[in-house]
């Protein structure tokens, strides 16, 4: 029985898998079982930011695996302590909580925000405002926070206390806070506002700088905690170690995952000196969170990505990538928009669904398949958006190869 059959027969079918079996990877290149090579412009969905089998990370994993893999968080371990120290030193945070995934990190953030006000004696302050088109994970609290109906569909009743408002719309956000405030005391039942500085799954939608500044002020004025979900945007993806640095807006709580382990499962919730007070002994936990093995890999990730020269190169390559895509936009009028920050970039296609009678009938999924056939891995989101999140070590000549590939596909599509 081959890999396809074993997978389909024995694993619950929750993924629309591409019919490829990858067996090895190095740098930005993956190889399948037929020895075909593919330049990876998805990086495991913004996870393998230092590419596949980075030698320093591989060595860290191997060395640690030969010494100690797991002892539980009932004890201290050196790698976890070192990783936490690095994250605190390089961010706004005062404390860190380790989990195993982005969804778990967001669960921790949600719990921390609610319990912070519970400890303060304000049990009525429990609601969390999140954004339409947001994505925060698949666990019950995370999907309840997610502002996409398709993610929540079939799981009713989702958890109460989550309100969704349009992204980048400060008027709607202020109105929501006002509607959830006591007219006599002026106190709000909102405990937190939770958002992604760049909505990755929502279409690579960037927050307006003025908007984030206004959100921060709104939180300060109404005793509301600000949570940034940087699971996709953090760890160099947007050209800074954390995307909030690009906006010069500091949250009270931030969540990380994905690239932090470069492929190993890890999540982290970072909390300010103020917000950390929501958790104390026994209030939250994780059996595997921040294990010695995973923490050792993450230490190397942080060391490499936090280098200012490395981050500067990420920004330069991101600008170069966008410039090449904008050249395509000038050639093909069905390219509706190019958006991005750092090396998180999207290309939006105008389709007949946009009520344009003369629009070219292009299917984003079909473009993904054609790219795969030509040796490039990208993906489609929101129906008509191509997303690019390559390893941060991608080279300009590899970007050029993808753009040439897209140019050929688009030329063929425009003639059809």
Asked whether residue 414 carries a pLDDT value surpassing 90, the answer given is no
Asked whether residue 360 carries a pLDDT value surpassing 80, the answer given is no
Q: Are 38 and 30 in contact (CB under 8 A)?
A: yes
Q: Indicate the number of domains in the chain.
A: 2
- Under the banding of pLDDT at 50, 70 and 90, the label for residue 351 is confident
Please say whether the dihedral angle defined by the alpha carbons of residues 153, 265, 286 and 251, taken in this order, is positive or negative: negative
Whether 227 is in a domain gets the answer yes
Q: Are 241 and 311 in contact (CB under 8 A)?
A: yes
Residues in the chain: 416
Asked whether residue 134 carries a pLDDT value surpassing 70, the answer given is yes
Same domain, yes or no: 250 and 321:
no
pTM across the whole model:
0.96
Task: Return the CATH number at 329.
Answer: 3.90.1150.10
- Under the banding of pLDDT at 50, 70 and 90, the label for residue 354 is low
Enclosing domain of residue 118: 68-305
Whether 60 is in a domain gets the answer no
Query: Which of 110, 154, 158 shows the shortest CA–CA distance to 130?
Result: 110
Same domain, yes or no: 106 and 42:
no
- Under the banding of pLDDT at 50, 70 and 90, the label for residue 355 is low
User: Can you tell me the mean pLDDT for 19-45?
Assistant: 97
Same domain, yes or no: 264 and 173:
yes
Same domain, yes or no: 245 and 291:
yes
305, 335, 357 - which closes a domain? 305
DSSP-assigned letters across all residues of 165-214: E-TT-HHHHHHHHHHTB-TTT--BSEEEEEE-SEETTTTSEEPPHHHHHH
* pLDDT at position 250: 98
Query: Which of 296, 312, 394, 401 shows the shortest CA–CA distance to 50?
Result: 394
Whether 58 is in a domain gets the answer no
Asked whether residue 416 carries a pLDDT value surpassing 90, the answer given is no
Q: Are 270 and 302 in contact (CB under 8 A)?
A: no
Read off φ and ψ for residue 86, nearest 5 degrees. -65, -45
Residue 309: asked if its preceding bond is cis (omega within 30°), the reply is: no
- Under the banding of pLDDT at 50, 70 and 90, the label for residue 117 is very high
Same domain, yes or no: 100 and 27:
no
* pLDDT at position 352: 64
275, 305, 335 - which closes a domain? 305
Long-range contacts of 352-357 (CB under 8 A, 24+ apart): 353/383, 353/384
Asked whether residue 237 carries a pLDDT value surpassing 80, the answer given is yes
User: Can you tell me the mean pLDDT for 24-51?
Assistant: 98
Task: Return the CATH number at 195.
Answer: 3.40.640.10
Same domain, yes or no: 336 and 352:
yes
Asked whether residue 267 carries a pLDDT value surpassing 90, the answer given is yes
Read off φ and ψ for residue 70, nearest 5 degrees. -155, 140
Q: Whose structure tokens read 């030509």? A: 374
Whether 49 is in a domain gets the answer yes
* pLDDT at position 182: 82
């Amino acid at each position: 029985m081959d890999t396809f059959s074993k997978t389909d027969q024995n694993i619950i079918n929750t993924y629309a898998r591409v019919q490829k079996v990858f067996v090895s990877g190095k740098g930005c290149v993956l190889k399948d079982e037929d020895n075909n090579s593919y330049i990876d412009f998805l990086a495991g969905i913004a996870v393998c930011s230092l590419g596949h089998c980075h030698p320093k990370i591989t060595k860290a994993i191997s060395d640690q695996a030969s010494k100690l893999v797991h002892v539980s968080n009932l004890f201290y371990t050196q790698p976890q302590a070192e990783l936490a120290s690095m994250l605190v030193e390089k961010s706004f945070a005062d404390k860190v909580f380790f989990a195993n995934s982005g969804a778990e990190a967001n669960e921790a953030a949600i719990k921390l925000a609610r319990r912070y006000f519970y400890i303060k004696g304000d049990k009525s302050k429990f609601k969390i405002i999140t954004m339409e088109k947001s994505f925060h994970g698949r666990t019950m609290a995370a999907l309840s926070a997610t502002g996409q109906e398709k993610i929540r569909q079939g799981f009713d009743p989702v958890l109460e206390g989550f309100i969704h408002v349009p992204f980048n719309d400060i008027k709607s956000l202020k109105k929501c806070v006002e509607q959830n405030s006591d007219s006599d005391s002026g106190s709000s039942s909102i405990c937190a506002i939770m958002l992604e500085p760049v909505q990755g799954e929502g279409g690579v939608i960037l927050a307006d700088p003025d908007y984030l500044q206004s959100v921060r002020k709104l939180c300060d004025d109404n005793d509301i905690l600000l949570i940034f979900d940087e699971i996709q945007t953090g760890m160099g993806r947007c050209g800074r170690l954390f995307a909030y640095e690009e906006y010069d807006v500091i949250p009270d709580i931030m969540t990380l995952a994905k690239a932090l382990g470069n492929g190993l499962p890890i999540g982290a919730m970072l909390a300010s000196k103020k917000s950390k007070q929501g958790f104390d002994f026994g209030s939250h936990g994780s059996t595997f969170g921040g294990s010695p093995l995973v923490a050792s890999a993450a230490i190397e990730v942080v060391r490499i990505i936090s280098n200012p020269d490395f981050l500067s190169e990420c920004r330069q390559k991101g600008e170069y990538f966008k410039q090449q895509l904008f050249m395509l936009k000038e050639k093909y009028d069905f390219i509706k928009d190019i958006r991005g920050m750092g090396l998180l970039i999207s290309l939006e296609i105008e389709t007949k669904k946009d009520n344009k009678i003369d629009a070219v009938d292009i299917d984003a999924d079909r473009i993904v398949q054609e790219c795969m056939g030509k040796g490039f891995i990208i993906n489609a989101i929101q129906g008509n958006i191509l997303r690019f999140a390559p390893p941060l070590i991608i080279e300009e000549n590899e970007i050029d190869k993808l753009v040439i590939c897209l140019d050929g596909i688009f030329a063929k599509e425009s003639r059809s």
